[in-house]
Amino acid sequence: MTVRPKHHSVVAAVYSLALTLLILGPLLGPGYLLLRDAVSTPRSYLTDSALGLTDAAARAVPQDALIAAVSTVVDGGLVVKALLLAALWLAGLGAARLVRALLPTAGLGPQLVASTVMLWNPYVAERLLQGHWSLLAGYGALPWIVIAGIGVRRAQPGAWWALAASLAFAGLTPTGALLGLTIALVAVASPGGRTSVLRRVSGVFALFLITASPWLAATLLSSGAADGSDPAGVAAFAARAEPGLGTLGSLAGLGGVWNSAAVPDSRTTLFAAVGTLLLLIVVLSGIPALWRRRRNPVVTALGVLALVAVLAPALGATPWGLVVGRWSVEYFSGAGLLRDSQKWVALAAPFYALSAAAGVMWAQRRFTLPRPTWSIAAVVVTVMALPDLAWGVGGALKPVQYPQSWTVVAEQLRGETGDVAVLPTGMFRAFSYTGDAPVLDPAPRFLPLDVLQTGELIVAGGSVGGEGTRAAQVEELLLTGGSSIELAALGVGWVLVELDTPGRSDDAALRNLERVFADNYLELYQVPGDVALHQASASARIIVALAHIAWVMTGVAALLVLGLNQNRIRLARRDKT
């Protein structure tokens, strides 16, 4: 049965959804995502931390504020799952649409191959295992940003609105916003087009300032805005060579995340080299065909971007690259955002998908086998390159059920004042109900008050310091038996003890505190006396809140305009028939 071209979009959408469901698998069952950096909770709150107005870097802005707002009416765990599902589905569908935009003669088969390459690769697997679900929103927006950029170059109606919607979705995290800005500039700044390059570039920057305004405003207004990142983080978070591959080979295969524990099992053996070779065979087969299309400036620009996206993190992991990286984070505030260098290899993925589709098209023309043969073969080879991405990355993505004590403590703290300190110290936990992988402490997102954390990360070979100076002082008091008066002076009104996890702790600091709740999982203590309030100013909260509203409204307005335009097009076509 032949699928008509007008149905290609429907098939590509269904296929991408099927792949997404196969990848996420068990995570879509009842429960919450709690794996390494990923934390979802039934409800979260618009604290200063959620708005990025503490002395820690605003890394989870605006995602935390968005979830806090939406989780007042919808379970927060469902919100996170829906956003992750949408991110991966849009990544696959966007890759198919990108092929249609840049390779107009491509049939359904090459489009589906592009979707497969965009979804079924080590980058997606490793970021899921690291818990970077919101970063994948930026990843999923990349092909759509390129498509919108092509429309802007051609002065197509609604193209700027499409670009605004795509950049808003990418802007769920600071990294996603920067990924979106980079690929948007590459698409619109290429020579040619029906409008001036300066006008296009200016428009992209204007949209970026709006869609990235939540974390830009938070960074400028937060108490830790002037603090730099720990230079030790540059080496700790550099791209990593996987078995049988150098750093460059790992990155070329869209792998090489810094955390060796956050990789699928197949990437911990020499099969990593085999899988990378299989993926690159599919991708590189289309390079000659795309070379013949080099007169299309967008194709050329995407190819150059892919090359830079692979080479730059590889150079950053060399000795001299690490020296440059340490210098930059030491002297430039905000440069710490660049230290997880492997995440930028996402910029190569759209070209990889396009090249894989071009390779299938070349094989269909060159050989006399039935046309679907090459598409099926490319899909099979891509999946074989990473077989354990299926079903929650080999079952690692499993929903977690919180003990009821978390909800009881959250209710106890509603309407109260003072910040919360936590024991054991540190940001990561190993609860009995979360499996083998470490998980980020859910307290900052579960509780309605700000939770003080230093931001220090324990990594192989040492630790990477955070930005929280007041939190570090509080932690020192808790570990040395400091008095309740000292805790209150630092703004601590409550101390939460998480019993079901190892870590550094000292009961001496709890002796003069009032225990208000206790069970097998949690103990909550209240600090007596007058607690000094450490809060962001009202003006800072208003400015950051307005930035969040601008971000949301830009995305919503863009989607509404695009929907109305599509409806007008359908009505016009109906009138013609």
pLDDT tens digit string along 348-369? Answer: 999 999 999 999 999 999 998 8
Of 49-53, 321-325, 354-358, 505-509, the least confident:
505-509
For residue 130, what are the contacts with CB-CB under 8 A and spacing of at least 6?
Answer: 36, 37, 257, 259, 262
Give the model's confidence band at 337: pLDDT under 50 very low, under 70 low, under 90 confident, else very high: confident
Q: Would the CA dihedral through 419, 422, 427, 433 be positive or negative?
A: negative
CA distance 101 to 408: 53
User: Are 188 and 200 contacting, i.e. CB atoms less than 8 angstroms apart?
Assistant: yes
Give the model's confidence band at 230: pLDDT under 50 very low, under 70 low, under 90 confident, else very high: confident
Burial of 377 (0-12, 13-18, 19+ CB in 10 A): middle
Cα distances (angstroms) measured from residue 142 to each of 145, 197, 372, 379: 5, 20, 27, 21
Encode pLDDT of 44-93 as tens digits.
Answer: 999 999 999 988 878 899 999 999 999 999 999 999 999 999 999 999 99
pLDDT of residue 1: 43
pTM, 2 dp: 0.96
> How many Å separate Cα 208 from the centre of its chain?
17
Strand partners, 38: 35
Q: Which of 385, 362, 386 is nearest to 374 (CA)?
A: 362
Please tell me what DSSP assigns to residue 343.
Answer: G
Query: Count of alpha carbons within 13 Å of 296, Cβ hemisphere only?
Result: 16
Cα 101-106-108 angle, rounded to 5 deg:
105
Burial of 97 (0-12, 13-18, 19+ CB in 10 A): buried
CA distance 110 to 420: 54
Q: Calculate mean pLDDT across residues 495-516.
A: 90
Q: What is the mean pLDDT of the chain?
A: 93
For residue 542, what are the contacts with CB-CB under 8 A and spacing of at least 6?
Answer: none
* Residue carrying the six token digits 């599902």: 85
Long-range contacts of 189-194 (CB under 8 A, 24+ apart): 189/301, 190/153, 190/297, 190/298, 190/300, 190/301, 191/297, 192/153, 192/297, 193/152, 193/153, 193/154, 193/155, 194/153, 194/154, 194/155
Please tell me what DSSP assigns to residue 36.
Answer: B
- H runs (alpha helix) in 212-293: 213-221, 232-236, 247-252, 271-284, 287-291
Encode pLDDT of 183-203 as tens digits.
Answer: 999 999 988 888 999 999 999
